Structure 1
């Protein structure tokens, strides 16, 4: 089970996430309380071991800015969390993780239109496009047989519900941000607990 810890804002937090066993760390370049600038992300990125993949999160950003940031920071993946079209995604020179906001069954069917490496299934947006700490109805994706190996589940996951989520959805990976925070800051104990639970692969 792959684990992505998103909303990394410092080298200290990045190192804690890596020590916990995260496979991906996420930098949010879109408007968010966890937003980071390109320069700070690049500094952190230089210290990240190669086996940990770096993901940049963008919302309706220009292709030029995405490529500039991806090159400067050394991103392994670009996560597109806005209204980006399939043709836009095809123009991105870095492997794409396309976020799909799931409110009803037809939202899941959007996946068929894209050629992305992974699809991040998230809850519908609140104030920001992601990271609202709420789950969506996992029943909507339970029967999805196609592309399960491309699904990263997000939205309201915590150390206490991630095993149930994995058992129900059977994704290739899980994504967490606010679910491993205390008072709006990443919590080392929660990150360790989340990864430990997720890596059980739901075998409880």
Structure 2
């Protein structure tokens, strides 16, 4: 089975142009979270989505979003909603797009919410966006309950192959691991190296 790829934290249309539609499946943009250096406005997100091919699913990455913010995300044309932090009870009932529920792993087997409307669970490091990984072995003790698992947190071209061999996730998610060394945007060379590493891991496991 092919491991899907999500490139997260896009901040400009130029970065979006780096993503090959036949190799990258999801593109993430951080919204309504000014604490993140990758946070962008809805207007900038629209510009980025205009560059992305339709085959790539546009993902709004949020932290404890309000109903009003979810509505703006849907109106902007996003395909998927990724939620970190608090998840208000009314959000899943009101949302018209699939939800990825992010779970921060803090050194032990994480507890996941068993909600029927969650499309996939994303497992991230204790500090999202930090570029740090966590002990992947703890995920072996979690039941997928029929839902998809996404692995994030500290992935880069040199460790994603081992991550795939250990966890066998449905999708891998990378942001800082494919940025320039000075963290000023996405590096197309690192993106391609990440894609190749995922393909190689898939070929070896098939």
TM-score after normalising by structure 2: 0.88
Q: Deviations over 1:149-199 (max 9, x none)?
A: 500100000000001001101110000000001211211100000011113
Q: Which residue pairs with 2:23 in the alignment?
A: 21
Matches within 5 A, 1:115-126: 115-125=117-127
Q: Which residue pairs with 1:98 in the alignment?
A: 101
Structure 1 position 86, deviation (Å)? 5.7
**Which residue among 49, 56, 75 is the counterpart of 1:71?**
75
Q: Which residue pairs with 2:156 in the alignment?
A: 158
User: Secondary structure of the residue that 1:22 maps to in structure 2?
Assistant: coil
Q: Deviations over 1:70-89 (max 9, x none)?
A: 212x1000000112156533
Structure 1 position 18, deviation (Å)? 2.9
Distance 1:100 1:4 in 2: 16
Q: Deviations over 1:84-108 (max 9, x none)?
A: 156533432211011000124442x
Q: Which residue pairs with 2:170 in the alignment?
A: 172
Structure 1 position 114, deviation (Å)? 5.6
Distance 1:192 1:142 in 2: 29
Q: Which residue pairs with 1:40 in the alignment?
A: 44
Match status 1:81 vs 2:79: no
Contact 1:148 / 1:172 at 8 angstroms: preserved in 2?
no
Q: 1:100 to 1:90 in 2, by over 3 A?
A: farther
Distance 1:198 1:147 in 2: 25
**Which residue among 62, 82, 107 is the counterpart of 1:58?**
62
Contact 2:160 / 2:194 at 8 angstroms: preserved in 1?
yes
TM-score after normalising by structure 1: 0.89
**Which residue among 134, 137, 153 is the counterpart of 1:136?**
134
- Cα RMSD between the aligned structures? 2.0
Q: 1:43 to 1:189 in 2, by over 3 A?
A: same
Structure with the larger helix share: 1
Contact 1:20 / 1:191 at 8 angstroms: preserved in 2?
no
